[in-house]
Chain A
Amino acid sequence: DAGVIQSPRHEVTEMGQEVTLRCKPISGHDYLFWYRQTMMRGLELLIYFNNNVPIDDSGMPEDRFSAKMPNASFSTLKIQPSEPRDSAVYFCASSLVDGGYDPYNEQFFGPGTRLTVL
């Protein structure tokens, strides 16, 4: 298995531009997570999906951020318009949960997308 795939690996853009980050979860996994990591705030959960449905988006910082999961093998995180404070590493993760509460259901993380907004 190729693991969680994220693209692009690096993105440099200018303030005000739209940014779209992409994620392909591990095949068969029914949960997908988007995280953001900065030096100041550490690793934060932004939103997560179960079977393509957003379950909790309380970590999404503001309306400029949106996430979609049109099918089980693809998700996007969009920032529009982008701002310099959005610069961070964005991770996507996926997991498989049996019966809703499996203490072993580890999350598998992708390599991340390093976003720089100038």
Chain B
Amino acid sequence: DAKTTQPNSMESNEEEPVHLPCNHSTISGTDYIHWYRQLPSQGPEYVIHGLTSNVNNRMASLAIAEDRKSSTLILHRATLRDAAVYYCILRAPGYNFNKFYFGSGTKLNVKP
């Protein structure tokens, strides 16, 4: 399975943008890039996903490199409630489509 590499932790100030990087150098052409986050004492929740083009939703933006070997999750204005572990996940079509590999993720600390 294609794997992802993320920094163990990052820190941000409240109300400032946060860029969370993810490297996936072995990504295949049909792999989707998904991001989930896990707030303290909760189960993971979906944030955003994309294939090739940059994506925006109410929670965040996803910027995907042209060669797709990396991507960046962008929180435009971090709040204290965004403090969580963020997971970058690759999803390949076929039999293993539903088998998520969460990895260690990036723990985001937001300072007031």
Q: What CA separation (Å) do A109 and B84 show in the bound complex?
A: 15
Interface size of A by CB at 8 A reads 24
User: Is there an interface contact between A45 and B100, defined as CB atoms closer than 8 Å?
Assistant: yes
User: Is there an interface contact between B102 and A42, defined as CB atoms closer than 8 Å?
Assistant: yes
Question: Which candidate, A14-22, A64-72, A74-82, A98-106, is the interface stretch facing chain B?
Answer: A98-106
Q: What CA separation (Å) do A101 and B94 show in the bound complex?
A: 7
Question: Please, what's the 1-or-0 string for B17-56, where 1 marks a CB less than 8 Å from any CB in chain A?
Answer: 0000000000000001010001000111110010100000
Contact of B43 among A42, A103, A106, A111 (CB under 8 A): A111
Q: Is A93 an interface residue (CB 8 A)?
A: yes
Q: What CA separation (Å) do A44 and B32 show in the bound complex?
A: 20
User: Which residues does B use to contact A, with CB under 8 Å?
Assistant: 32, 34, 38, 42-46, 49, 51, 87, 91, 93-94, 97-100, 102-105
User: Is there an interface contact between B98 and A109, defined as CB atoms closer than 8 Å?
Assistant: no
- Please give the distance in Å from A97's CB to the nearest CB on chain B: 8
User: Who on chain B is nearest to A92 by CB?
Assistant: B43
User: Is there an interface contact between B102 and A112, defined as CB atoms closer than 8 Å?
Assistant: no
Counted as pairs of residues, one from A and one from B, with CB atoms less than 8 Å apart, the total is 49
User: Is there an interface contact between B45 and A109, defined as CB atoms closer than 8 Å?
Assistant: yes
User: Which residues does A use to contact B, with CB under 8 Å?
Assistant: 4, 31, 33, 42-45, 48, 55-56, 91, 93, 95, 97, 101, 103-104, 106-112
User: Who on chain B is nearest to A59 by CB?
Assistant: B99
User: Is there an interface contact between A42 and B103, defined as CB atoms closer than 8 Å?
Assistant: yes
User: Is there an interface contact between A101 and B44, defined as CB atoms closer than 8 Å?
Assistant: no
Point out the residues of chain B lying under 8 angstroms from A55, CB to CB.
Answer: 98
User: Is there an interface contact between B32 and A103, defined as CB atoms closer than 8 Å?
Assistant: yes
Closest 3 CB pairs of A and B: A109-B43, A106-B46, A43-B102
Point out the residues of chain B lying under 8 angstroms from A56, CB to CB.
Answer: 99
* Given A33-B98, A42-B104: A101 in contact with B93 (beta carbons within 8 A): yes
User: Is there an interface contact between B93 and A91, defined as CB atoms closer than 8 Å?
Assistant: no
User: Is there an interface contact between B102 and A95, defined as CB atoms closer than 8 Å?
Assistant: no
